[in-house]
Amino acid sequence: MSEAADRHALVTGASSGIGAAIAARLLGEGWQVTGVSRGEGGPAHPRYRHLALDLSDLDAIAPALGDMRVDALVHAAGLLRVGRLGEADPADGARMWRLHVEAATRLADVLVPRMAEGGRVVLIGSRTATGAAGRGAYAASKAALAGLARSWAAELMPLGITVNVVAPAATETPMLSDPARGGLAPKRPPLGRFIRPEEVAAAVAYFLSPEAAAVTGQQLVICGGGSL
């Protein structure tokens, strides 16, 4: 991986929530960060660049990235739509799959082949990936990220590039109060509070650190005791 002053990460969903916390954490550690979101957003920082891009427009991803090279790809952009079996809107499921899974694949297809040895990929999954009533399509799209990560990790191991997943439980982000939840309240972890975005960012920073060079194909679940 490049020296600290030269490390460059692309972080999706960087305008708010977990993505914004990740961008701030990496900037604090000396990274250059390109933050992706649909609208303007992100910290005012000399090492931060904003890239306006709607990741649901899959065919726009490669042209928008151009010849960009990064040391790390962090896919934090997310969307939650809820609905029980027989009631969920199929279009909502398609949107979540497109953003969580297909966009991740398009980004990796472009950026990973350009990475040098020591490159890193981190996908933001969810504790919900193990299943939750009323969140079937969301859970399925997040569960797919674990399969992608392990498959890519096996492919990229000879190149010295690692791929991992950070999967938090309900986190203090705008998603918690999104009207699209349709009255389906977030489940507070047994710890007694929601996960903080900064805690997720810290886990991402670990996977991007030199100390995690031998860790690949893994999923770190930040459950607040929910898996006990």
CA–CA distance from 82 to each of 13, 85, 139, 203 (Å)? Answer: 20, 10, 10, 27
- Beta bridge partners, 11, equal 35, 74
Matching residue, tokens 């392990």? 150
Most confident of the following: 27-31, 124-128, 133-137: 27-31
pTM of the model: 0.91
Give the C-alpha separation, 22 to 102, whole Å: 21
Q: Residue 142 in contact with residue 135, Cβ under 8 Å?
A: no
**Which two tokens mark 58?**
């899959």
Predicted local distance difference test score (pLDDT) of residue 193:
85
Give the C-alpha separation, 7 to 119, whole Å: 10
Q: State which amino acid sits at residue 178.
A: D
- Decide if pLDDT at 98 tops 90: yes
> What is the set of active-site residues?
138
Break the chain into its structural domains and give their ranges: 8-222
Predicted local distance difference test score (pLDDT) of residue 179:
61
Tell me what percent of the residues of the chain surpass a pLDDT of 90.
Answer: 69
**Which two tokens mark 123?**
């996908």
The pLDDT-based confidence of 24 (bands split at 50, 70, 90) is: very high
- Decide if pLDDT at 13 tops 80: yes
Matching residue, tokens 């809820």? 82
pLDDT tens digits along 160-210: 999 999 999 888 877 666 666 555 667 778 888 888 999 999 999 999 999
Mean pLDDT of 28-37: 96
**Which two tokens mark 64?**
């928008």
Give the C-alpha separation, 25 to 162, whole Å: 20
- Decide if pLDDT at 4 tops 60: no
pLDDT tens digits along 41-87: 778 899 999 999 999 999 999 999 999 999 999 999 998 888 898 98
Q: Which CATH class is domain 8-222?
A: alpha beta
Handedness of CA 196, 6, 14, 78 (dihedral sign): negative
The residue with greater pLDDT, 226 or 107, is 107
Predicted local distance difference test score (pLDDT) of residue 228:
80
